[in-house]
Amino acid sequence: MLHSPWFWIVILLIAASVAAAAALGVLHWLALVLAAFILALTIALLLAAYPIRRVKQPQIPRLRALPDSERLPVVYDCDLTMGRPFREVDDGLTLLYLLGEPRVSLLSVTTTYGNGPVEMGTRATRRLLDSIGRGDVAVLRGAAGPDDDAESNKAARHLADVVNKHRGEITLVATGSMTNLKHAAAFDPGFFEKLRGLYLMGGVTEPPIWNGRPLAELNFTLDPEAAHKALHAGCPTTIAPGQAGLGAIFRSPQLAALQALNDPASRLIARQIRSWFALMRLYFRDGGFALWDSVAALMLTLPGLFDYERGYVTSTRDDLRSGKLVFEPGKNGPMRLVRGVRDYDGFITAHFAAWHHLGQMMETRRNQ
């Protein structure tokens, strides 16, 4: 927030208003108006966040642990800010899904900029992992901006090393800026070809509009050069564009069902998503927030939940400055472009099952 020019503009306007009110001798009236505004805003947010009806515990499949030989080794590259007030939560929810999904073996998390500065994302990621007893998962700080020097990028060095060590085995899920991937390829020109698969969240096939409000693309546009490299990777690639996330809205009934699960992970999630849930519910008037990043992650484990097609992405670097994806369908194409969520109930249930499984593992560790 401190890096946003709008934050400082608002601070300056408030300071100027206070100074003018003091000069005119009406400071007490200004204080009363500001107090009334803050109270009204607080009430609006509380009303948006808390009046969720109680429901019975949802029926979800019981997940069981799998042997390591049946699990997919995954590295997650993200701009996680879950746990920070009024910040995006979908990266955090995706991380918790990957940790609770038995088919995934999460090796490490690399952080990047996007939803917030990379320092914020790194701290938030470590704090979230510590809160669920998974401080053993390595977290590597990545790029702070598109012009960072690759040599100082620990996350990129880690990506290049782990992929080179496990050639053809690692799946990389990337849901923030793509700079870490660009830097990893600078360390090892064969980086992308050594991946088992690449799952990206980013880009738009047309200007995205949610309930009449236009949305900005905030992944590929952050580093078009890096996005261009990722979209021309020499490995099987799946892209979840912005439009796909508009069919993955987490609304009040889903929050009520989450609260009914009543395990440590689900309780933690319910607490940490409330401010974002309230803000998005008020702003977009669509009952909740979008699970953008989950679309990329669940395409890895449960592709049958989605509509997608194969083809080729021919976007130029100039196209990617606005996040534009130029897609040419072709049944033999090397890329899968997600068009939308086909089975919404199954999509939500998959989250609940993984989160509940994670909660059960947390309880087991605490009781040992």
Task: Write down the pLDDT at residue 262.
Answer: 87
Which 3 state secondary structure label does DSSP give 117? coil
H-helix or E-strand containing 306? strand 306-313
Please give the class, per CATH, of domain 72-248+283-367: alpha beta
Q: How many Cβ atoms sit within 10 Å of the Cβ of residue 264?
A: 19
**Tell me: the pLDDT tens digits for 76-94?**
999 999 999 889 999 999 9
Cβ-based burial of 28 (10 A; exposed 0-12, middle 13-18, buried ≥19): exposed
Give average pLDDT by consecutive 10-residue segment, the chain, 368 residues.
46 59 56 58 55 80 93 98 92 98 98 97 98 97 97 98 97 98 97 98 94 94 98 95 95 92 94 90 90 98 98 96 96 94 98 97 88
Q: Indicate the pTM of the whole model.
A: 0.88
H-helix or E-strand containing 198? strand 197-201
CA proximity to 199, closest of 72, 80, 316, 89: 72
Task: Write down the pLDDT at residue 279.
Answer: 86
**Tell me: the pLDDT tens digits for 166-212?**
999 999 999 999 999 999 999 999 999 999 999 999 999 999 899 99
Task: Write down the pLDDT at residue 212.
Answer: 93
In sign, the C-alpha dihedral spanning 213, 145, 178, 120 is negative
Q: For the chain, what percent of residues have pLDDT higher than 90?
A: 76
Distance, in Å, from the CA atom of 226 to the CA atom of 12, rounded to the nearest integer, reads 36
* Paired residues of 290 in beta bridges: 249
Averaged pLDDT score across all residues of the chain? 90
Domain boundaries, given as residue ranges, for the chain:
5-48, 72-248+283-367
Task: Write down the pLDDT at residue 282.
Answer: 84
Distance, in Å, from the CA atom of 269 to the CA atom of 89, rounded to the nearest integer, reads 9
**Tell me: the pLDDT tens digits for 311-333?**
999 999 999 999 999 999 998 89
Task: Write down the pLDDT at residue 5.
Answer: 47
Buried b (16+ CB within 10 A) or exposed e, 284-295: beebbbbbbbbb
Task: Write down the pLDDT at residue 285.
Answer: 86
Task: Write down the pLDDT at residue 6.
Answer: 44
CA proximity to 198, closest of 245, 234, 153: 234
